[in-house]
Structure 1
Amino acid sequence: MMRTVHLALYDTLADWEYGYAVAGINDPEFQKNPGSLAVTTVGATRDPITTRGGLRIIPDLTLDELRPHDSAMLILPGNDIWNTDAYAPFTGKAREFLDADVPVAAICGATGALASAGLLDDRTHTSNAAEFLEEVGYGGSALYRDEPAVADRGLITASGVAPVHFARAIFERLDIYEPEVLDAWFALYADRNPAGFYALMEQQQ
């Protein structure tokens, strides 16, 4: 059965933070169940958004059309609007997902928005830096971990400079790859270890 992962779109979307995750989800190569996952984009409206890199993307659906039980995960990339009212609909949808036990993955500025909304007060988490989250005045500082990516009870958080770690945590939660495949992928893209490439090629045999 096809499962859908929803990628949130908004102006100033950080292009470099979600690419590894989306490519790994949409590309069936090396997957346990090829073709069982697909990424769909969701915006506050269907109007085109403009990314930090200047790309214009049209959302496939709107937040008010998205129900948690129709999704395998909501991915919230970083952005420059996380601390404005424009981002409130996305934190509201993240809360709805978590309340329904559907996972959410947030990176960079999106973690700041979740912290402001109180969604990091009782979950182990990370972000760009402890100081970044402390500026929003949230109540979860004791649960902050200085790591590239952290997963706790359906919520993945990551630093904006750790897109590969972010993707790995997403892949683990979605159970896309066998452990040895994921280890090889991570060795290649995170550690730049050529052995990872050859290990992936062996999986094609």
Structure 2
Amino acid sequence: MPLLNNDSFYKADHDKIELKMVGADNKPIKTAGGLKIIPDCTDISADTVLLLAGADTRHDKKHKDILFLTEKVLLENGTVVSMCASVGALNSIGILKIRKHTSNALDFLKLVSNQYVSESNYLDQPLIIDGNLITASATSALLVAYTLVAKINIIDPDILDAWYHYYQTSDLQYYYQLQTLFMQKHQ
């Protein structure tokens, strides 16, 4: 995510954010989209943002530790982002019973979840924020990135908006706006 890896976009008073990949162990993980992730660590602090990517291995017992870590992060006011099939995995630990959520579709959640009973909390939208839990469909990666960066408040909103609209629309007016804002920031 270029905005997080390039601290020249950051607000003047904010330290660089360190991105780490977390896994049940340090073995490579392959997401449902084929992205290979190599975990940096197996534990995280409570003030973290934990992103759960979708995968067809959501019911594998090796993910049990990550799901318990998810509960810990939520209880200690960290942020959890769950996309696509990983939302179904949250069902197995009961989180969806008390939280508004979304995924690819209600029928998809029923398919990928064991005994999904949280229909009353399901909202058919691309992204839902319920406190410190963010859930999203598989097609909402850009919206998730925008929402997370806005939530952690490290980039000026006008720069973030120009970035989001440029990547959302490919309209060059937003590219030029982003470049202008960037140049103004560094004068």
* TM-score bracket for the superposition, by shorter chain length: 0.7 to 0.9
Counterpart position of 1:61: 41
Counterpart position of 1:117: 93
Superposition TM-score, scaled by structure 2 size? 0.85
Contact kept in structure 2, 1:187 and 1:195, CA below 8 Å: no
1:192 is displaced (CA, Å) by 2.4
Percent of aligned pairs sharing the same letter: 31
Contact kept in structure 2, 1:125 and 1:151, CA below 8 Å: yes
Counterpart position of 1:150: 128
Could you tell me which amino acid in structure 1 is paired with residue 145 of structure 2? A
Match of 2:4 among 14, 20, 25: 25
Q: Which moved more, 1:29-38 or 1:176-185?
A: 29-38
Q: Structure 1 residues 186, 131: closer, same or farther in 2, change over 3 A? A: same
Q: Which runs of 5+ in 2 are unaligned?
A: none
Match of 2:75 among 80, 88, 99: 99
1:171 is displaced (CA, Å) by 1.1
- State the distance in 1 between where 2:150 and 2:97 align: 24
Q: Which runs of 5+ in 1 are unaligned?
A: 1-21
Q: Structure 1 residues 32, 53: closer, same or farther in 2, change over 3 A? A: same
Q: Tell me the SS of whatever aligns to 1:106.
A: strand
Counterpart position of 1:7: none
Higher relative contact order (CA 8 A, sep 6+): 1
Counterpart position of 2:49: 73
- Residue 39 in structure 1 maps to residue 15 in structure 2: no
1:170 is displaced (CA, Å) by 1.1
Structure with higher strand content: 1
Superposition TM-score, scaled by structure 1 size? 0.78
- State the distance in 2 between where 1:192 and 1:145 align: 29
Q: Structure 1 residues 196, 98: closer, same or farther in 2, change over 3 A? A: same
